[in-house]
Structure 1
Amino acid sequence: MSKQNSHWTSTSPVLANERRTPPRTAGGIVARDLHERLLKARRLRCIVLSGPAGCGKTTTLSAWRQQLLPLGYDFAWLTLSAEDNELLQFLEYLFAGLAGIDPAISRQAALLEGRDSEAVERSMVTLVRGIATHPREVMLVLDDLHHLSDVGIHQALQWLIDYAPDNLHLVIASRGTPPLSLARLRSQGLALELGVLDLRFTPEETEQFLRSRLGEISAGDARRMHELTDGWAAGLQLLCVSHKKSRRGPGKPVQIRDVQAFIEFFETEVLGQLSSTDLELLLHMAVCNRFCASLCAALTGNPDAAGDAMALLARMESDNLFLIPLEGSGRETWYRLHPLLRETLLKHFDLLGAERQRAVHARAWAWLREHEHLEEAVRHAVLGGAAPEAAALVESLADPLYATGDQRKLIRLVRQLPAEEVDSRVTLGIVRARMQLFARDFGATTESLQRLQHSIPESDRPGRFRLAVQQAMLALQRDDSDAALAVLPMLLDPPVGTDPVSRGSCSNILTWLYLHRGEYRQARRIQSERPALLVDGKPLLGTASGILQGRCLAGLSLAMEGRMTQAERVYREVLHEAERCGKSGVDARCLASALLGEVLYELNEIDAAIQLLAGQVDLLERLSIPDSVLRVLVVLAGAQWLTGNQQEAFAYLDRLEEYATKLNLDRLLTYSLVRRIHWNLQLGELSAAENHLQRLDAIAARHRDVAHSALDEIRFLTTGARIRWHVALGNLEQAATALEPLIAVCEARERLLGATRLQMLAAVIDSHRGNHDAAREKVLTALRRGQQLGLMRTLLDIHPDALELIRQVAHGEKLDPLLAFYAERLLAQCTPTMIAPAEAADGSAVLPGMELLSERELEILHLLAQALPNKKIARALGLSPETVKWHLSNIYGKLGVSSRDEAVERMRDLTASSV
């Protein structure tokens, strides 16, 4: 790649910041009663300004912003356009805008992906949680919302309003009524809606405005100009321009009270007075959403006209002629046109012939490409008939963008290209399939890969290899090691000249395959022997293809063997390096966090595991592989079980089952059912356990013929669950007979963790059978193995009687010092300390009378006060609706009430009495 192209992997500062900063106001701000009204409404949940273009919505909000900044309010400002009318594009702008306040606000939400309703709702919940942690008030301004008609965007904004924390205030400016439900907010007095009548200048405000723009003006002239415009902001501004320039002679005054009058007046009084050079420059400006002087000159085909363009822009800015300067760090000032003026000019542009229009777009494509504004360049290339050239450019940038973690930018670029251009290029076809896989649209991914299968000739070995890698990546996400094995011969023989991204992906897929086949040393060898892979001269560290992801998988192979201490070191090192990689390290950071959580749980560091994982479930479900999602949800379920939160423990299993069912992942569903059976048996719920066991048998029957693959775990886990069932029923002989071959399999496959766990279960069975000597020997075997590997929860969770057996051996045997110390540590284990009921999580005191409520119950009670239904409370807190109901019954009991309304009133009474 050329030096010039190497800069295209980062977004231009001008284009990136333009959407996230309000327009600069030219001239002084006129104090208005409307500003005071908005100032008093600053703590409301939602403020809406609606009215036609030019009625002063943006100017009013910009002035209001200047009032609030000294009061400690943080602003995220999004100026929207028709190009944002696509769900994922809008969400990305939204997250970027809030990240401008504090990157932590939207860091996790920005990593989520998906178009389906549930995925978007989870993104909004994650964003809301980020906003709630911000210490200051957050104003989110959405200017020109009328450009967005996508129902998915409207639904996302509705969730943002419904779930908004107290410190979020949504401000909307739109030409029409926003398609959002504000009824609840109106009833609670949390919404302010202003229309065109509210936005009009009063006669007194009109006079102040005219004096600020024209200097001295008589009261009579001010009154007449107010009557001509009816206080319409755009009309006043245009009359000021006319007053300065034309000194109108006698005649009938022109009224400028609406959009059509504006267009007619502007064409007559402004466009009609321009020179042909200025008019041509202005006409070409309208083609671009934003522009600078040199771009305007290039659009006309005369680069030497930059001086004329600069002079015109300076005059328009000086005269407040509907030209809005943008904030940026470049050498030139960038601008955009007022929407009314741009619409007027584009009507003239549409009258040009198709050939002339394409020529202008082609010049825009050339200039924007040369100046590294890639996304806008591609758009103009397609409009200018240069789609093949744009596709070639995107194709050349695919691997560099992917390697640096700019996958979303790559996705946006591919979406702008015509489908026939994507279909004709292997690289872009692979990118499209990867994009669909990223969104977890497995059906579309499969169709894309099938098209590539038919279009890539057998002679194109690099292309066929890239296809095989993508097929294996799909298999990995579907937890289908058999499908990955089908392309294994191709993966083992990469052709000469294979690109680094495909080679890196291949290495990581092979590692995953080998570890699920129980070939742990081979899995690690793949990573230790992988060559250094460079993209644009830099090591391929992050992304799913990078070495950090591979090291995580190598660590997982250690954990699957039971070598938790070694695995922990690997995960922590990867986390440290992934943080330094920025966005390219997101995949590795997610996977390392998930796997580290499993280690922390195993070492009985329950609070640390919860703290690490609880806020990342949504992110992991959207970004990471099924193995990491499985481990996170199982760990969180186990942690809640240990702290006595049985309902929440089962809620995490519900979520695992929902995830597994949605993606048709039987192995993950098996893990959920096995854990349910284990806990049902501990609770004495034999009927529930038997029902789950029957479901397990049905799943195992579907995979009866698999061998030595990831799905082979289903048979293994089902047998283990049936052994527990036999133990619970007292069928100890059957249990012991079935257990022996399982232990042998674990030993043969070097799954030391599983072997240790089953040895302890065998000890429990022998103890129940009265074979105490045999039980003691098995406990000693498990302890020696556990001490070598650093295991804790593996021995303690296998059965409620395990701890007592360890105690008996520790007190009845003379153990060597290391084993004795290890046994003492096991015996000292207890459930994590719960938060004291009189103190909240942040250390603040709980209101008198509410001391008995837990932290979670307080959270639910506060959401209850916002009139949210159980389902939305569950979404906001990451719980199941059943868990919310369980908490509500506890809240009612502790507060001595019997309904939601009574609970809220009780909370308000206690709040009022504490003030």
Structure 2
Amino acid sequence: MAEPAGPAEQQGLALLASKLAPPEPAHATVLRRRLLDLLTREVQRSPLTLISGPAGSGKTVLASSWRQSQGAGRPIAWVALDEYDDDPATFWSYVVEALARGGVRLTEVAALIPGKPPAASLIPRLVADIAACPRPIVLVLDDGDHITDRSIAAGLDLLLQRAGSRLRLVVCTRADPLLPLHRYRLAGTLSEIRSDQLSFTPEETRTLLAAMGVSVTAEVARDLCAEAEGWAVGLRLAAAPLKQGVPPERLVTSLAHDDGSVAQYLFAEVLEGQAASVRRVLLRTSVTPELWPDLVDQLTGRRNTRRVLAGLARANAFVEESPGSPGGFRVHPLFREMLQAQLAYEHPGELAGLHRTCAAWYAAAGRTQGAVGHAVAAEDWGFATRLLIDDLLVPRLLAHGTDTAMRGLQSLPPGLRGAEAAVIRVVAALAGGDHPAPSDLAVSMGAQDDGNRLPLRISATLACLAAGAGTDSAGTDGAGTDGASTAFLTRLDAAAALVAELPDHQQRARNEAMAVLSHLRSLAVLGTNAPTRQLLPVLRAAAAAAHTAGARRLRCRAVGNLALLEALEGHLTRAARLALEAEALAAEEGADESALDPAAATALAWVHLRRYALVEAREWLGRARARERAAHPDAIGHGALQAVLQGQHFRLRHEYELAEQVLRPHLEGPPLPRWVAEQVVTEVVRLAMARGHVQDGLAMLRDRGRDEPWSRRLQASVSLAAGTSAIDVPLGEQPGGSAAEMVESTVVRACQLLERGLVTAAAEELAVALERARPELLRWPFVDTPPQARRLLRTHPRLQAPGAWLNPSSGAQPVGAGERAAAPAASEVVQELSERELEVLRHLAEMLSTAEIAATMFVSVNTVRTHIRSILRKLAVSRRNQAVRKAREHGLL
């Protein structure tokens, strides 16, 4: 028996059955349980549920999947709309038929004739019939944006209001329907599922691709999801090129440029249907990722284009309001890529002008990065380089070693004239480890005196100083600092005064420039013959300045060199902590092992050998030597100190020829700075003593040692080996004397007493030396000493208990290592404060305000602020209370 005809068929209207049922599921449809559960909750809660999103976002798939998941227990009517249904009679004919198929028993319905408005009784009759149903019914309207007739919207509104809880309406649409949504929102009777909820998550992306026969890693799925911003069709279209073998990493970088599928879809579904004026707005604004109304007006040559953008956003045409930026809009990146390609195809001659417009707008808005990007895209290199100089790229690049702006300047024409271009090329070469062109250096030197451009003067000065750091700062006259070093340090002082002229709002650039200058100063003094006690404060200042500027690369180098000097001084615990901090900083930078600075590894090798931990010393020495091969050209002394360590290992094994081979190049090569030369000469002399060449050792000291404390200690040791008259040994207790000096001096005096037969006195001296060396576990002076002294250490009752820690297997630990290890490593780097700064610091500890401190000290508020900034920089902290706390930790208060 045939089924009874529906209401519309009884009236002679031909309805398409395919529009009254959901479409067949797409291939490999993924049921997203979170969305199905969400839609279930929203339908139960609200009479009207809006599923709104751009083309291809999965609206229809969600609604049809949800319909199937409900089973037969819930009556659901379905109508798929198109442009031909924007007629009241046609629209209501489909609704009536869908309700009838959904289980609503309809009484007599007035005739619906296309082109004529429905009878006034239609809506009341439908309300009555729906109310008579035993269960509420859900009506799904797919592609609801095709309905623009206001009478249809009014009828739907009336139907929803009168039907109450018996009807649930679900509308799938790209643009908001003409229903009075504001009223529904106020009444709390509207639920909305928008684009952000429809977007695929990375996990759902991976599941979708797997269902389509493409297996990808979680990382690739995450990156693809981010590139498509969760857009369903974009992710589906990505499966085809992946199946064809396109590497996922290439597809991730530009999904819109895969095989054309995404671009074709967007062109056909979104762009092609737009009015010519709207297309013009979309194409011309595609050059910028941010759409600000006044910028868009300039790009399009028309006013009040915000209405166009707002309309596109409401229509879900892949344009949306920028989150957190009132008044701004953004375009979906895939849609923007398609628009850019279309612009280049249709209007290639307009691209440069549009980018110049953007560059000028961003520059005027103080958005330098964006301005530079557009200037580069327009190939307006003069404007780009000027922007970068004014933005103080040079101190930023020298401080951090890299900057995002440099990526756009890789195509900077090598012959581009101008001081700005020359300075940038110099710094780019230095950042890449290359030598700048002499012509660029010459132009940069001249730019230092450009009186009208402070950023250019600072940039040129820093570039020239950084380029000359490896040659201009070397001092070798043996008097502390030679003429070249003095001149270089004077230039650094002048540059610091120039940087101080930067206004307060450029504090970050000022900090970065000061970090660079402090770094260059540390390199300059490391290359001189200044004593170690003068080098340490400079390195601490460099580390503190780098910390203030957030320049991990410079801080790593300063802390590594500081660790090395502390190790030479015998402050082994402090040196190890600083070296490990430098290693941690390098790890944060993500550099390869072979590219790391060798200073920290050399320091740790020195620390372990001084503690006679030979296995660890050899391991760190191997790492230091591996790093030395790729060390920065301005690295000072590391190779020579590694040779000393290697020579000491060889000497312990009596491999004297090998020891001499590694030491000779550094002894006979270019002059070394004092702090390095001391160690090289000392080891060469000790090697001569070990080989029995005592006179050679004495001759070396007469030639190289002069009358310095370290030389006198060594001469005394050589004299003991030669059996000659004893030489007075410095006590090592003078101000500034290091822990290593004091211990070594005491051991030598003990050996002299032992040589005279004064065993008890020698034992007392060794006991003093043991007490001084115990906190740092400084074993080396007791290992590298005459055999009779070592024998006394083993046999004399007075030395048995105090010397037990000399055995590496004793388990002894440095005194206080546990407590100090818990403190931040950065706390060790503290630059000495002036008297006025200490006075200000005391007032800060008393909780006085800046004005109160100024009144107490009879100085201006600005002077107090200057002192406070200096205190924060020197203590490597960012806040006043941190400065007070750190000062107390170091006994400054």
Q: TM-score, normalization: structure 2?
A: 0.50
Greater RCO between the two (CA within 8 Å, min separation 6)? 1
In our comparison, the structure showing a higher alpha carbon Rg is 2
